[in-house]
Structure 1
Amino acid sequence: MDPATLIGVIVGLVIIVVANLMEGGNPTSLLLVPPMLLVFGTTLMVTLAGGTMSDAKHALGALRTAFTGGVRPAGEVVPMVVALAEKARREGLLALEEELKGVEDPFLVKGVTLAIDGTDPEEVRDILESEVHAVKAQGKHSAKFFADAGAYAPTIGIIGTVMGLVHVLENLAQPEELGHLIAAAFIATLWGVMSANVIWLPIGNRLKRLTELEAARMELVIEGVAAIQAGSNPRVIAQKLSSLLPAGEQAAPPAKAA
């Protein structure tokens, strides 16, 4: 679990509330149902209108992943692949069938299983790369849904403010009500801008980043499976896969003897 988005969104909202209190404001005055309903409801509906029902279902289903999900570090793949390569080099590919029962990475299991079944290396790569493409496409659609919501929300907030100001003009004969009505009118703009920059856009960026990390891990697995199938030396495989990792995840080179 990686709660970065959950922490960021909640703490960001808390800071806004604290800043409001420090300025002498009343946070409850910001919680007006009509402008919030207008901003959140209309934003979701117009975002839905720009895509398909399937896109919306997948995007809303990805909310849990955005707030609490995470991707295992790609570096974890290297020792697993090296262990499989060592066994395959000693006992052959068929010996890996039993070894796969202890592997928790389903994508790695799928790739090695294809290799065990005698699938042509090019076909194995094509099958696995197609799955990576599908993951990227799904992540792109989910991220785009929330990025679009972040683009629509401020404009929807302005619409709400204009509606509120029209209501203000209708009540010019009651000056004692104008202050409250004007303040309420601008709440819609506040929620439009705030929801876009504190909720929708961070969620979209989070889903995009998780997709990138998952795809990078899967691509590392593809290279590992190809190396196992080719019968490469396990030490060479370890060096090759490590070189594909980000600098922060690469293992430190062994120290030279004095």
Structure 2
Amino acid sequence: MDILSIVGLVIAFVAILSGSVLEGGHLGHLFQLTAFVIVIGGTIGAVLVQTTLPTFWRSMVIVRWVFVTPQIDLDETIDKIVNWSQLSRREGLLALENASETETDQFSRKGLQMLVDGNEPETIRDVMETEINTIEHEDMLAAKVFESMGGYSPTIGILGAVLGLIHVMNNLADPEKLGSGIATAFVATIYGVGFANLILLPMAGKLKTLVKRQSVQFEMTLEGIVSISEGENPRSLQAKLQSFVGRT
């Protein structure tokens, strides 16, 4: 569980709502179903026009990373790779077959299987680098879905405000309704700007960071497997892999 995401959202919303109350506002005025439907529905509709279905679906899958961070422990990955290296030096590459069968990470499993199958280091590197680039590209596109939502949301909020003002203009004959009507119209703008800057854009930023960290872990795994294939000493391999830790 990523406690920072939860704490950040709580602090942001508490600060804004408390500020509204301190200014003499009424919280009930900030909750408008119509404005919510316009902003959320319009934002999702706009991003669906822009995005392909696989990318949108992937974005819905990785959004949980904002609150449940994927396991990216580089020190643990180094220990695992060094153990593979020591095992292969003692018993040969075929001894890694059991490790490949029990490995839970699909990327590592694929690399180990290529190693056991006797592929050349260049072949392993080419295949796994291609997979790293593909995964990173797809996940970055998915993260940018929320970035796009953050771009559309304020504009949709303004659109909602204009629609509300049109309704207000139709009631000019009743001055008593003008104040509350205008206030209600601008709630859509608050929703648009708020969703963009408190939720959507921060989520996109965190997802991009996590995608980069995942790529570093994959690159570390790739370098380790290629080094094992080349028969590199476990101590030298460990020192090489340590250089990846500072990149996250």
Q: Report the TM-score, using the length of structure 2 for normalisation.
A: 0.93
8 Å contact kept, 1:6–1:68: no
Q: Secondary structure at the match of 2:24?
A: coil
Q: Residue in 1 aligned with 2:51?
A: 51
Q: Which amino acid aligns with 2:128?
A: L
Matches of 1:55 and 1:83 in 2, distance apart?
37
Matches of 1:241 and 1:81 in 2, distance apart?
9
Q: Residue in 2 aligned with 1:252?
A: none
Q: Which amino acid aligns with 1:63?
A: V
Report how many residues are paired. Answer: 248
Q: Which amino acid aligns with 2:36?
A: M
Q: Residue in 1 aligned with 2:171?
A: 171
Q: Residue in 2 aligned with 1:192?
A: 192
Q: Residue in 1 aligned with 2:246?
A: 246
Q: Secondary structure at the match of 1:246?
A: helix
Matches of 1:215 and 1:74 in 2, distance apart?
11
Q: Residue in 2 aligned with 1:235?
A: 235
Matches of 1:105 and 1:141 in 2, distance apart?
22
Q: Deviations over 1:132-157 (max 9, x none)?
A: 11211121111111111100111111
Shifted more, 107-116 versus 142-151: the winner is 107-116
Q: Which amino acid aligns with 1:237?
A: L
Q: Which amino acid aligns with 1:32?
A: Q
Q: Secondary structure at the match of 1:225?
A: helix
Shifted more, 78-87 versus 162-171: the winner is 162-171
Q: Deviations over 1:148-200 (max 9, x none)?
A: 11001111111111122222222222111111011011101100100000111
Q: CA deviation at 1:103?
A: 4.0
Alignment pair present for 1:12 and 2:24: no
Q: Residue in 1 aligned with 2:28?
A: 28
Matches of 2:48 and 2:6 in 1, distance apart?
24
Q: CA deviation at 1:75?
A: 2.4
Matches of 2:2 and 2:226 in 1, distance apart?
31
Q: Which amino acid aligns with 1:165?
A: L
8 Å contact kept, 1:5–1:206: no
Q: Secondary structure at the match of 2:210?
A: helix
Q: Deviations over 1:54-108 (max 9, x none)?
A: 2222222322233323342222211111111111112211122234455443322
Q: Which amino acid aligns with 1:151?
A: G
Consecutive unaligned residues in structure 2, runs of 5 or more: none
Q: 1:58 to 1:245 in 2, by over 3 A?
A: same
8 Å contact kept, 1:146–1:203: yes
Q: Which amino acid aligns with 1:61?
A: V
Q: Residue in 1 aligned with 2:202?
A: 202
Q: Report the TM-score, using the length of structure 1 for normalisation.
A: 0.90
8 Å contact kept, 1:2–1:70: no
Q: CA deviation at 1:15?
A: 2.3
Equivalent residues in 2 for 1:71-82 (5 A)? 71-82=71-82
Q: Residue in 1 aligned with 2:85?
A: 85
RMSD: 1.8
Q: Residue in 2 aligned with 1:156?
A: 156
Q: Which amino acid aligns with 1:120?
A: E
